[in-house]
Structure formats: structure tokens, C-alpha cells
Amino acid sequence: MKLKSSILLRTTALAGVAAAALTHSSIALADEAADADMSGDAIIVTGTILASQQASVEAKRVAVNMTDVASADSAARFPDQTAAGALARLPGVAVQRDQGQERYIQVRGAPNRWTSVSIDGVPMVGVDEGGDTRAFRFDAIPSVMLSEMVINKSLTSNLQADAIVATIDLKTYSPLDRKGFHVDGDLGYGMMGHGGGQQRQGSLRLSWSNDNVGFVLGGSHYLRDQITDNREPGYNDETGEPTAFSVRSYKLERYNNGLFGGVEWSPKAGQKLYAKVIWSEFADNEERNQYDFAVTGDTVTGVAAMFNDGKYRNRNTIALIGGDYDDFNGFTASFKANYAKTVNTTDLPLVRSSISGLGDITYTLSDPRFPVFSDNDGSFSQTMSQAGTILLPLQQRTESDSYTVKFDMAKELGDLTLSAGLLYADRDIAGNVISTSTYAAIGYVGSLIGQPFNINDYVTNDAWDTDYPLGLSLNYVDNKAMRKGAEATLAAMAAAGLFTPDNVIEDSTRYYQQERTLAGYFMGTLVKGPLTVAGGLRVEKYSMDNSGSLRINGAYTPRTYSSDKTDLFPSLNIRYEASNDIVLRLAGQRGVSRPAYGATRVGASISDTSVPGTISGGNPLLKPEYTWGVDSSFEWYLSGNGMISVGAFYRWVDNVLYSAQERVNSDFYDTPGFDRSNYLFSGQYNGQSGKLYGVEFNVQKQFDFLPGALSGFGVQGNLTLLDGDFKAPDKDGVVQTYDFQGMSRTIANASLFYEKYGLSARVSYQWRSHWLDTLGGLGSGEYRAAYDNLDVTLRYAVTDNFTLYADLANLTNETYVAYADTLAHPTEVERIGSRYLFGVRFSY
């Protein structure tokens, strides 16, 4: 579905009517004070939402480039556990969730790799999930340590060029901003609507400062016990009829921990030295119960079982030292030195078997999402084959060490400010992607060596806790005990020489890379009355040394590949104050998005036996995605804390990255006597040209012009309409047009809030249209269906120091659906339930 001009005209008209109504009311009635007021015993707090919005609106208004800003909560109350949750409240931001938990940020609905991140101005790179993405995990940063989050939708030359739609700067808390000793934090406890598991959180921040020295120390913890219902059907490629149904129940324990500390020293006004350390951990302990029903027609022909007690970990250590000088021989200057370490691990021993007591089972599919099975002769049993039990010992570890030095300097010459800077970043990345080819026959072989493993010993009497119709009665297995028994059997097999632990990770899945970036920029900012013009040029030299192994018909061959390139990234931002209330903006820029480490690895597995031959693995020949882009906006700032804005953007993108199976069209994988340029390669490719464009509408206003209690009401809403596509050849070399993976054409956020008499309340609704998730080699793909989320946040200030809160999330109990071609052919159906959290926040 393309953007229609009639839709744009109607939406623009509605925004104009809303703007006129709000502005007319604002002018006609006097403004109310934004500060907290005491009236008798009543506490009138205008902090958590109103003051935060006022600070955000003012920061957006004075910025040289196009930004959206989330300022620190003025009452030091923290409504979100991580930066991902806090950013989800900003205009034009879509959140990519994993099992319902916010993780990645998609600005303007674009693929998450097109949004980069920095912490206190220092670029950060993600290496999550085996290095298969560069997207930064925003759930790794506790919100309690942040003071401001800035989404830069247009670039200036002092910002990293590694961004196509936006770069986000997370600014950490500065103890020198608040004199004296302060204690801020919260405690909360609640439950999960599905399964009744616990949900808990806590944070604490201690800070002290005088006029010269400041200290801060803090930490946070969040945990939830969750049950996830999941169904994953499979289909015949030719007939479209179901061939299998994977029925799953996940029992999860997830937690985020964070610690941070900092010291700042300001010997005199305009000078500051600082040192900060951040440590964060995300953990996911996953117990899987899975049964795969093979079907022919309406009859079940076989059932396979799979179980695991998986451990997923992501740990980040970030250390930063720096200094700011407002007058350094007539210049302003700043320097930063940063070390960042990220370790991502997966330990997933999958135990597989098959059901032996099948009986006569059929199924019905009145709702294509939920197969319902019938045990017609009553003989179905969960009894599984002991001898046929195998173990897939899946392991993955990716480690990144990054060193970054950054220096910036500026000089004011009347109306003109000249600035320049340098950045050097050196990253070492070592890791592997998960491979499933290594297994151990623990049932049969275990019995031979005196370490028998009977999978049926671990079946419990606890029935599945599921919201989905099923028909059959299934009981949970004891995943933790099963893992211990399987590992004991595996250890005995290794001691007997029947299993080699070193072979669990194939050499073709490993990669070793060194990435170096040297960047410099020069920028001038001219201010002439209402006009501000900022233009500059950024130069980046990027190099990559890449090594790994090719697995050719079972034998390994080392291979290396190195590349380097110097690029120019100009940018221009024009800001014009047409009046006291209206700001017009126009911006142009060039940006880049580099492929993920795992995607560019040298390692690959090659088979010469099939016709044509096949290759799966990394593609070191991948090129970065480059973009030229323009942005424009009309911003109308209303009295009080309101604003209405309309923005438009266009991005021309070259070398678009996508995953598929197509012809190699390269001699990189050739060896003497073997021309593999026509083999089918499964991995990532560069497409041809692409374009992404859209419009954004944003309205926010507290109705402070209304009388009495009604003045506490307010609204915040935004609508993003997107379109775009890219071109790439299919496996037959025919150029096709594809949608961008991860792009929703419509994203809408709406919030109604109330803030008065100590009460802060917000009802938030988010909706995004369907999007392409993965792309197949023939142009087919997997889509994610549209979904909505409804959240309610309540705060009541009992005193100036204590606030009670309730966070009610996913009240619509959304079902998340992936599908192949139509919703009648779902490929994944998942539900996690609503969440309820209650607690107290405190600030001294």
C-alpha cells in the first residue's frame, strides 16, 4: 500500500484544525504556572509530565538540527526500567520487542540498524545475537542513570555519520547539576497476567556535590517471571497446506541489572573533569517445552519433542573519562576517552526425542492461528523414545573490545562559530554464530557407557499453563533437572572418547575482526537574527581486517579479507524563526550504515555435491549502505508546554542490505578447480538503489487554559506515514522491487494524560501496521502483522518525597503474529499477557 495524497491531505487538515483550536484557546486564556504550587494541604505537582515536556520542547526549539528530546524527570521519578522503555514514549519511535520486552529502537519505522547510538557523545556499537546485528541494545542502559535522551533526526558534522534515519545520544546524570546530598529511587512489585509470575524492580541513586566536586553512585534491578504461548505452523510450498504445527510453551526468568558511578570536578566555572563507569547485564533463563506435530490432511502422523534450559546473557562495561573547557585560550574544548566491552553468550542445550504413544490424532483449524487436536482413541501419551533422544549442545559467544578517543574544539567569531574535531575508534570483535550440526545421541550411547538417560523421568504432573486452545493434555517437563542429567551423560561420553566438546562450535561459524575508524570534521555555524545556518564536512577512514575459515566438503581452509575506504559526509542544517512561535527547518546530509560483524564474517560452509552447489555463512564482500537525505519541518510552539509540528524526510539509499538465497556472483569462494560463482548463497546481500520517505505529525499540549481541575488534562500524539522500497536481483538475476525489512508504513502513538493535585496519569496507545520481517530468495518473505499496545501509568504524590505508582502494560493482551503471504498462513503466533507493577518512588 502506497502513501496516497488524499491521506496526506486529510491528515494535514486534521493537524491544522487541531493546531488552530489549541492555539486559539492558548491565546485566549492566561497561562498557568509550570512550577509546583502549594494550596493549603493540597499538593499541586506539575512535574513528572508537564515539566519534563516543557524541558523537552524548549530543547527541541533551540537545537540547531532536527531533534526530539526526552528530558530527565523533574521529580526524579523513573517510569521505565531501561532506556528502551523511556525512548518508546517519544514521537516517531517504534520499539522492537523480544517476548514483549523493549529492546531495539526503530526511528521513523525504519530498520533498527539505521539508528545509531552514543553515550555522552561517544559512539557505541551493538554485537547482540552472535554479531548478527550492529543495533545497540537499549535495554542494556538503566534509565535511572540518564539525564537526557536526544534523537538527532538530521545530522551535524560533529555527530557520527553512521546513521541513516537518526542517531541517539544518551546523556548520563551529572551530580554537579544538583547541589547537596540526594537520594532517588523506587521499589516495585507486581505480577504477570499470564501465568501469575512475579514482576519486580528497584533502583537507587545517591549523589552529592558542592560548587566544585560531585559524586554519584547508583544501581537498578528488574525481574519478571513470564510464560509465553507460541505456535509455529509449517506449509507445503506448492499447495500451501499445513505440514506441521510446532506447539510451544516458554517459561522465562528475565532480569536486568545495572551499576554506575561517577565523579566530577569543576575547579572553576566553565571547567569540568569527570570519570564515569557503567556496568549492565541482561539475563534470560528460558525453559522450553515444544512438541512438533507432523500432519497430512487432518491427521497427525508423528510428534517430535524438544526441550531446553537455555541461558542467554548480554553484559556491557563502559568506562569514560573526559573534560570540558569553556575558555581554553579563547576556544571551547572537550575531550573524551572511552573503553567499552560487550559480551553476548548463548548456552542452549536442546534435548530432542519423539513421541512413541501417538494413537489416532486429528486436528481442526477453525482459527488458522490455533490448531486444536483431538485424541480420538484416547491412546495419546507423552511417553518419548529413550533410545532416540539426542542433545544439540548449541553455544555462542561474541566479545567486543572498543577503545575510542574524541576531541572537539570551537571558536566564536562574532556571529560565526567555527568548530572542528577528531575521533579514533579501535574495536576487536571475536565470536561465532550458532550452528546446529553437532549432536550427541545421549539416549542410546548413554546406556552403553553406564550413564543411561531416560527423557521420560523428567515429565512432571504439572499441566501446561496456556491461553491458547490445544485439545490435548500436556504436562511440563523438569527442564533444569533434564539439563543436569543430559550434561552428566555428555561428560561421560566425552570421557569415553565418544564426544568431542571442542567440535561443538564449528570453525566456519567463528570470526575474528579488527575495525578501525579515524574521523575528522570541520563545521561553521552562522547566526544572523532569526536565521541559523550550520554546515560542515565529516571525513571518515574506515578499515576492517577479517579472518575465519571456509568449510569445504568437511575440510577447513583459513581465509582472510581486508578492506579500507575513506568517505566524505557533508551536512547542512538551516533553522529560521519565522516568529516567536514558529520555527522552520531544512536539512541535508549524507550518512552510512555498515553491515553487522557476523554478516561480514569470512567463515562459510560450502557443499559441492548439490546442483547447483550451496554456500551458507558470512559475506565479507558486503558494502555499507550509503544515503543522501533531506529533512524539513514546520514547528509551532504553543504557549505553556505545547507544540504542533509537521515534518517530512526523504532518504536515497544505495547498497541496501537484505537476507536471502541468491547466486554468489563472486570468485571469493573459488578454489583451484572449482568455480563457485554460480552457487546459491544463503546470507546477506547488497541490493541496488532504494528510497525511504515519509511525513510526521506531532501534537502535544496540556490544556492549561481550561478552568479548575480540567486544566490538568493534556494530550500527546504523533503519526508517522512511511513509504519506500529497494531494488535487487533475484536468484535468476531478474531485478525485483522489495519492501524494506522492518518498515511499517504507519506508526501511531497517542497519549491522554492528567497532571494536577498530586496525580499524574497517562493512558498510552501505540499502533504500527504490518511489516516485512525476512525476505526469501524468490521474493517471498515473512511478515509481522499489525499490532497495538495499551499501557496505563498512574502516579500519586503523597508528599514532596514519596510517590505511589502503578504501571499497567499490554492491557490489550496482544497476540503477535508472523505470516507467510496472508494471515490465513501464520508462521508464528505468540502471546505474553498483560503486566502489572505497583510501588513507591522516593526523592530526597
Three cell numbers written together for 437? 550440526
Q: Of all residues in the chain, what percent carry a pLDDT higher than 70?
A: 89
Lowest mean pLDDT among 353-357, 412-416, 417-421: 353-357
Q: Is 500 within a domain?
A: yes
Q: Where are the alpha helices (DSSP H) in 429-586?
A: 442-448, 479-495
Higher pLDDT, 507 or 108: 507
Q: Is 579 within a domain?
A: yes
Q: Is 753 within a domain?
A: yes
What pLDDT is recorded for position 138?
74
What pLDDT is recorded for position 91?
61
Tally the domains of the chain. 1
Banded pLDDT at 94 (limits 50, 70, 90): low
Distances (CA, A) of 502 to 367, 505, 513: 46, 7, 21
Q: Of all residues in the chain, what percent carry a pLDDT higher than 90?
A: 52
CA distance linking residue 806 with residue 841, whole number of Å:
11
Distances (CA, A) of 404 to 118, 163, 240, 401, 515: 11, 18, 52, 10, 12
Banded pLDDT at 77 (limits 50, 70, 90): very low
Q: Is 359 within a domain?
A: yes
> Is the confidence at residue 485, as pLDDT, over 90?
yes
What pLDDT is recorded for position 447?
81
Task: Return all residues near 39 (Cβ < 8 A) that are at least 6 apart.
Answer: none
The letter for the amino acid at 277 is V
> Is the confidence at residue 604, as pLDDT, over 70?
yes
What pLDDT is recorded for position 516?
96
Nearest one of 60, 59, 64 to 535, comparing CA atoms: 64
Three cell numbers written together for 607? 557443499
CA distance linking residue 809 with residue 836, whole number of Å:
6
Chain mean pLDDT for the chain: 85
Nearest one of 502, 483, 496, 384 to 447, comparing CA atoms: 496
Q: Is 566 within a domain?
A: yes
Could you tell me the residue range of the domain that residue 173 belongs to?
43-843
Distances (CA, A) of 242 to 21, 298, 376, 465: 54, 9, 20, 25
End-to-end CA distance of the chain: 53
CA distance linking residue 788 with residue 811, whole number of Å:
10
The letter for the amino acid at 237 is D
Mean pLDDT, rounded, for 301-320: 94
What pLDDT is recorded for position 79?
46
Higher pLDDT, 192 or 664: 192
> Is the confidence at residue 53, as pLDDT, over 90?
no
CA distance linking residue 3 with residue 1, whole number of Å:
7
Q: Is 11 within a domain?
A: no
According to DSSP, the β-strands at 625-637 and 555-577 are: unpaired
Banded pLDDT at 26 (limits 50, 70, 90): very low
Q: Are 242 and 233 in contact (CB under 8 A)?
A: yes
Contacts 24+ apart (CB under 8 A), 326-330: 326/269, 326/270, 326/271, 327/270, 328/409, 330/411
The letter for the amino acid at 271 is Q
> Is the confidence at residue 641, as pLDDT, over 60?
yes
> Is the confidence at residue 401, as pLDDT, over 60?
yes
CA distance linking residue 263 with residue 457, whole number of Å:
56
What pLDDT is recorded for position 555?
85
Convert the pLDDT of each residue in 156-215 to its tens digit.
999 999 999 889 898 888 999 889 999 998 999 999 999 899 999 999 999 999 989 999
Q: Are 472 and 373 in contact (CB under 8 A)?
A: yes
> Is the confidence at residue 230, as pLDDT, over 90?
yes
Banded pLDDT at 50 (limits 50, 70, 90): low
Higher pLDDT, 461 or 40: 461
Give counts: helices (H), strands (E), the chain: 6, 44
What pLDDT is recorded for position 407?
96
CA distance linking residue 774 with residue 112, whole number of Å:
14
CA distance linking residue 141 with residue 168, whole number of Å:
13
- Residue whose entry in the numeric block shows the C-alpha cell 572537550: 334
> Is the confidence at residue 3, as pLDDT, over 50?
no
Mean pLDDT, rounded, for 398-421: 95
Convert the pLDDT of each residue in 281-290 to its tens digit.
989 999 999 9
Q: Is 1 within a domain?
A: no
Higher pLDDT, 305 or 142: 305
Mean pLDDT, rounded, for 80-103: 66
What pLDDT is recorded for position 244?
95
Banded pLDDT at 85 (limits 50, 70, 90): low
What pLDDT is recorded for position 240?
87
- Residue whose entry in the numeric block shows the C-alpha cell 551493538: 126
Lowest mean pLDDT among 136-150, 709-723, 795-809: 136-150
CA distance linking residue 547 with residue 560, whole number of Å:
4
Q: Which CATH number fits the domain that encloses residue 462?
A: 2.40.170.20
Higher pLDDT, 527 or 787: 527
- Residue whose entry in the numeric block shows the C-alpha cell 550492529: 134
Mean pLDDT, rounded, for 536-561: 92
> Is the confidence at residue 17, as pLDDT, over 60?
no
Q: Is 10 within a domain?
A: no
The model carries a pTM of: 0.87
Q: What is the DSSP string of 366-382?
A: SSTT--EEEESSS----
Looking at mean pLDDT, say which of 54-68, 378-392, 573-587, 744-758 comes out highest: 573-587
CA distance linking residue 291 with residue 477, whole number of Å:
12
What pLDDT is recorded for position 24?
37
Banded pLDDT at 416 (limits 50, 70, 90): very high
> Is the confidence at residue 661, as pLDDT, over 90?
no
Q: Are 275 and 263 in contact (CB under 8 A)?
A: yes
What pLDDT is recorded for position 25?
36
Convert the pLDDT of each residue in 242-294 to its tens digit.
999 999 999 999 998 999 999 999 998 889 999 999 999 989 999 999 999 99
What pLDDT is recorded for position 127?
80
